[in-house]
Amino acid sequence: MEIVALFDLLCYVQLTHSEKHRGTNRGNGSFGSTKIAMARPAIRHNRFFWELIVAFMFVVSAAVFQTFHFFNNAWLVHTNGSYIYQRGLGDDCVKSGEFWDGIRCTSWLDGEHSTFVINGQDITASDVVPPSTGLRLARVLMIFGVLLYLFVIFSLFFICVKRNLKVQKLLCAVTVLLVFINVFTIFIVMADSSKPFIKTMKYCSLGSAFYYFLLSCLLFWIGSAVHFDSWIDVYHNIHTNDLPMGLLGHIRRNVTS
């Protein structure tokens, strides 16, 4: 009987020890899960912050490129020997090594006193094609685009300081509008390059200003894609607002229960 009682006591001690050991493991696992759950929001917040920093750098670079090369006259180019005829978004220029300053420009508004006639070779006023409606529209769109760049830069800075869904919505909407304007401007300028702006010359080519504009568009598109968490936040908000109220309430009850 004493042997049986001793055996029962040993079994009870072993069982109690096993239960305590399992309880400790559960506690450690729960504590570890809690730490991981607490770490995830911090990681997402840091990622969101660095996304905005990188996006800000790309967008500012794009804005500088676009603003600077808006004043570049080499959007459309004719070449005739040592003379290079350039049409920008507001000015016409003749570039030649024969000029002491290298280049002579006049505004679109000068009309008969165009630099092509005054400083070009054997060009009359009737040979000069006035700026097309497309180029005039491209000029207006470029000016409007610069203003939109300022809004995007300010929005990125504001969201970097304080995450705000309303500002994120405005940022995404203005970004889409600016992308559309840039793409439309590209097509307008390319279409105009198919026709010479000096009748006596056959071929018109795209100048360096246009390619720098393409570079600014690329930088802006990369910068817009970098802060993808903003797009995700806006998408989830729009998607949630589109759900029926009954289904939305059911989801909320399941989440809180």
Determine the Cα angle at 176 with ends 173 and 182, to 5°.
140
Specify the range with the lowest mean pLDDT, choosing from 173-177, 186-190, 229-233: 229-233
Which residue has 């399941």 as its token pair? Answer: 254
Classify 111 in phi/psi space as left (phi over 0), alpha (psi -120 to 50) or beta: left
- Percent of the chain with pLDDT strictly greater than 70: 75
Cα distance between residue 27 and residue 152, in whole Å? 48
Q: Per-residue pLDDT tens for 75-111?
A: 999 998 888 999 999 899 999 888 887 888 888 876 6
Asked if 106 and 113 touch (Cβ cutoff 8 Å), the reply is: yes
Q: Binning pLDDT at 50, 70 and 90, where does residue 178 land?
A: very high
Q: Per-residue pLDDT tens for 132-163?
A: 899 999 999 999 999 999 999 999 999 888 88
Classify burial at 134, counting beta carbons within 10 Å of its beta carbon; exposed 0-12, middle 13-18, buried 19 or more: middle
The two structure tokens encoding residue 230: 């903003």
Neighbouring residues of 59: CB distance < 8 A, sequence distance ≥ 6? 149, 152, 153, 156, 219, 220, 223, 224
Which segment, 3-17, 80-94, 169-183, is predicted with the most confidence on average? Answer: 169-183
Neighbouring residues of 57: CB distance < 8 A, sequence distance ≥ 6? 223
Cα distance between residue 222 and residue 62, in whole Å? 10
pTM of the full structure: 0.73
Q: Per-residue pLDDT tens for 19-58?
A: 444 444 444 454 444 444 444 555 555 777 788 889 999 9
What does the pLDDT read at residue 43?
Answer: 58
What does the pLDDT read at residue 240?
Answer: 76
